[in-house]
């Protein structure tokens, strides 16, 4: 990666729990949110906002110049499901569903998407 490269590529990511089961309780959601912010920062993925519903996640990120959408989602989903299972937050093995949604967001409507994610509840 060139130190002279720059990008601003907002992406709204959405993915769900396996079989869209509503199994992420509010107490787990709070811990998982912190985990996502910390993990994203560690991987140099800027997470502007996120919201975790009982059965799916919304996340607004600035896609790093050296990562694909697929790589980014794979990292986020894989590491978080491992973290949830390692910490025994659920009485069953946790898994995210296959696939995801990824939508590019122009700078001009980024604040609208930010508010949409923040107002999920």
pLDDT category of residue 31 using cuts at 50, 70 and 90? very high
DSSP the chain: --TT-----EEEEEEEBGGG-----HHHHHHHHHHHHHHHHHTT-EEEEEEE-SSEEEEEEE--TT--HHHHHHHHHHHHHHHHHHTT-SSS---BPS--EEEEE-GGGHHHHHHHHHT--
**CATH code of residue 82:** 3.30.70.1290
In a domain, 13, yes or no: no
pLDDT category of residue 4 using cuts at 50, 70 and 90? confident
In a domain, 81, yes or no: yes
pLDDT of res. 7: 79
In a domain, 55, yes or no: yes
pLDDT category of residue 71 using cuts at 50, 70 and 90? very high
In a domain, 3, yes or no: no
Residue-number span of the structural domain to which 43 is assigned: 23-107
Number of domains observed in the structure of the chain: 1
């Amino acid at each position: 990666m060139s130190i002279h490269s720059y990008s601003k590529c907002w992406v709204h990511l959405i993915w769900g729990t396996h079989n869209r089961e509503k199994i992420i309780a509010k107490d787990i959601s709070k811990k998982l949110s912190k985990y996502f912010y910390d993990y994203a920062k560690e991987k140099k993925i800027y997470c502007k906002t996120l919201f975790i519903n009982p059965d799916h996640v919304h996340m607004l990120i600035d896609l790093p110049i050296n990562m694909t959408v697929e790589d980014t989602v794979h990292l986020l989903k894989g590491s978080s499901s491992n973290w949830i299972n390692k910490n025994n937050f659920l009485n069953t093995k946790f898994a995210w569903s296959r696939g995801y949604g990824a939508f590019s967001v122009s700078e001009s409507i980024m604040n609208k998407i930010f508010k949409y994610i923040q107002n999920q509840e």
